[in-house]
């Protein structure tokens, strides 16, 4: 069964691609120039685009530079010497569907037995999110002490916390600190009160966490490094037979303003 050259629901082909071809069991698409990839980035961290590409007769079967361009601005210039896998990175930002054009400034030669200009062909395109964390980059915060290692399960990223996890201020926060929390086995998956202290031990606020939910923590105006906040739970402390750690609550990677379903619908519409 031919599944075309893209893998996953976060990438689709736009204009500029020749028909799908199969030869000796391999599927590919030739490109003259300006082939568009639509890439949905759902989380606030970097995404890597991996492309398996090969020079064609349009560039004389010689090395060339594959350019990735978005909104008229260069995203990457990647040297292609032969059939190989190359990659480039989409910077972290708000959830978005990117329209990325793949092109070369070289080539244009006619093929000996084909009326098309075949500058390069692409066998596979794979998009993957690079490892992120529970606080998005460029938010003005970073994790301090008190956090268990980053984990992923069921397509979600999170960190468990025993108690007194620290979050440090790294710059001028653009707004309140937003976290998505859920009670854990340490509190028997029951509601608990999360008390937020500043670095000097002064209470900033208390939040009731009843289920998986998002909370906003107001950081004092003018907070600057080395300011910090501490997340404290009263009670809890239970363990399970499967894990010796105390896991009072966990914090998920925060994805504002979109859902996987809505992004996939946007991606499907853009590719038509």
C-alpha 194/C-alpha 233 separation (Å) is 5
Supply the DSSP symbol for 59: G
Q: In terms of domains, do 91 and 158 share one?
A: no
pLDDT interval class at 272 (50, 70, 90): low
Quote the percentage of the chain above a pLDDT of 70.
87
- Mean pLDDT taken over the chain: 87
Tens of pLDDT, residues 110-158: 988 899 999 999 999 999 877 668 887 667 788 889 999 988 888 788 9
| pLDDT tens digits, one per residue of 167-178 | 988 877 667 888
- Residue 75: DSSP 8-state: E
- 181-211: per-residue pLDDT in tens? 999 999 999 999 999 998 888 898 899 999 9
pLDDT of 28 reads 97
| pLDDT attached to residue 2 | 47
More confident residue, 32 or 8: 32
The mean pLDDT of 248-257, rounded to a whole number, is: 77
Counting residues of the chain whose pLDDT is more than 90, the rounded percentage is 61
* Same domain for 267 and 247: no
pLDDT attached to residue 115: 93
Rg (CA), the chain: 24
106 lies in the same domain as 49 = yes
Any domain includes 41: yes
Residue 22 lies in a domain: yes
CATH number reported for the structural domain that contains residue 27 in this entry: 2.60.120.260
Residues 94 and 183 both lie in one domain: no
Q: Are residues 11 and 122 in the same domain?
A: yes
CATH value at residue 183: 2.60.120
The torsion angles phi and psi of 269, rounded to 5 degrees, stand at -70, -35
In a domain, 136, yes or no: no
Its domain, for residue 151, covers 141-252
In a domain, 16, yes or no: yes
Q: Coil, helix or strand for 144?
A: coil
Sign of CA dihedral 52, 157, 40, 135: negative
Sign of CA dihedral 241, 243, 244, 248: negative
Domain annotation covers residue 75: yes
Say if residue 98 is in the same domain as residue 172. no
**159 and 217 share a domain?**
yes
57 domain residue, yes or no: yes
Task: Determine the Cα–Cα distance for residues 234 and 251; give it in Å rounded to an integer.
Answer: 17
How many domains are contained in the chain? Answer: 2
Q: How far apart are CA 219 and CA 167, in angstroms?
A: 11
Residue 1 lies in a domain: no
Model pLDDT, residue 261 = 47
What does pTM read for this prediction? 0.59
pLDDT band at residue 13, thresholds of 50, 70 and 90?
very high
**Whether 119 and 229 share a structural domain:** no
Distances (CA, A) of 169 to 114, 197, 224: 60, 13, 6
Phi-psi region of 154 (alpha: psi -120 to 50; beta: other; left: phi over 0): left
**DSSP 3-state of 92:** coil
pLDDT at 148: 93
Q: Residue 87 domain-assigned? A: yes
172 in the same domain as 83: no
Burial of 211 (C-beta count, 10 Å sphere; 0-12/13-18/19+): exposed
User: Are residues 36 and 16 part of one domain?
Assistant: yes
Question: Which whole number is the average pLDDT over 43-66?
Answer: 92
**Together in a domain, 22 and 87:** yes
pLDDT band, residue 1 (cuts 50/70/90): very low
Residues 143 and 73: their CA atoms lie apart, in Å, by 33
Answer yes or no: do 145 and 241 share one domain.
Answer: yes
């Amino acid at each position: 069964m031919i599944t075309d050259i893209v893998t996953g629901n976060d990438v689709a082909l736009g204009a500029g691609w020749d028909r799908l071809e199969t030869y000796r069991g391999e599927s590919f698409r030739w490109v003259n120039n300006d082939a568009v990839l639509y890439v949905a980035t759902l989380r606030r961290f970097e995404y890597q685009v991996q492309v398996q590409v090969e020079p064609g007769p349009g560039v004389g079967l010689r090395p060339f530079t594959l350019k990735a361009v978005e909104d008229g601005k260069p995203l990457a210039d990647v040297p292609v010497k032969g059939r190989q896998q190359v990659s480039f990175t989409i910077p972290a930002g708000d959830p978005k569907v990117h329209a990325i054009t793949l092109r070369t400034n070289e080539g244009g030669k006619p093929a000996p037995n084909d009326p098309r200009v075949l500058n390069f062909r692409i066998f596979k395109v794979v998009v993957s999110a690079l490892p992120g964390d529970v606080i998005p980059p460029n938010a003005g915060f970073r994790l301090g002490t008190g956090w268990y290692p980053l984990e992923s399960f069921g397509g979600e990223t999170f960190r468990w916390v025993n108690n007194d996890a620290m979050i440090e201020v790294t710059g001028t926060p653009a707004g309140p600190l937003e976290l998505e929390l859920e009670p854990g086995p340490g509190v028997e998956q029951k509601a608990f009160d999360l008390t937020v202290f500043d670095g000097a031990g002064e209470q900033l606020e208390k939040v009731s966490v009843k289920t998986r939910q998002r909370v906003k923590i107001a950081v004092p105006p003018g907070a600057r490094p080395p300011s910090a906040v501490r997340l404290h739970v009263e009670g809890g402390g239970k363990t399970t037979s499967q894990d010796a750690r105390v896991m009072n609550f966990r914090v998920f990677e925060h994805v504002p303003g979109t859902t996987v379903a809505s992004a996939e619908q946007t991606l499907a519409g853009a590719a038509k």
